[in-house]
């Protein structure tokens, strides 16, 4: 599970770097299409987020095919990857620290078994 937590943290950081570097056009895009987030903000569409993070993190392509076969809902994939938050709030320090995983059960979900070597 530690691998996936580290991986999603790295993806989150790369996503925030991308947002920071591309704020102008992302704001224009989000004026037409945006999604409400659990933190009370908004974010770009799931398809845009998935496209960007696959481009900036090549290792993600190893996971996307099996993830997409299990659940082709783009919003669910963004949630699993920990990217369902308002990036502007995160960059400005007005949002939560980011999504966290519930560690109370102590059992790793079967989907994550064997990913340590990726």
- pTM score of the predicted model: 0.75
Please tell me whether residue 63 adopts helix, strand or coil conformation.
helix
Tens-place pLDDT, residues 4-58? 788 889 999 999 999 999 999 999 999 999 999 999 999 999 999 999 999 998 8
- Non-local (6+) Cβ contacts of 15 within 8 A are 49, 52, 53, 56, 83, 87
φ, ψ for residue 42 (rounded to 5)?
A: -150, 160
Tens-place pLDDT, residues 64-116? 888 888 888 999 999 999 999 999 999 998 755 444 333 333 444 444 444 44
Nearest CA-CA partner of 87 in 32, 49, 33, 31: 49
Nearest CA-CA partner of 44 in 13, 15, 7, 1: 15
Tens-place pLDDT, residues 45-76? 999 999 999 999 888 888 888 888 888 899 99
Q: Give residue limits of the domains in the chain.
A: 1-92
Token code pair at residue 94: 């007005």
């Amino acid at each position: 599970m530690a691998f996936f937590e580290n991986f999603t943290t790295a993806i989150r950081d790369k996503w925030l770097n991308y947002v920071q570097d591309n704020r102008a056009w992302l704001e224009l895009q989000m004026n037409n299409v945006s999604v409400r987030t659990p933190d009370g903000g908004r974010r770009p569409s799931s398809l845009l987020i998935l496209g960007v993070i696959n481009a900036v993190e090549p290792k993600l392509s190893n996971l996307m095919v099996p993830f997409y076969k299990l659940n082709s809902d783009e919003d669910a994939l963004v949630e699993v990857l920990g990217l369902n938050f308002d990036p502007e709030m995160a960059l400005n320090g007005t949002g939560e620290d980011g999504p966290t995983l519930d560690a109370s059960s102590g059992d790793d979900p079967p989907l994550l078994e064997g990913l340590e070597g990726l």
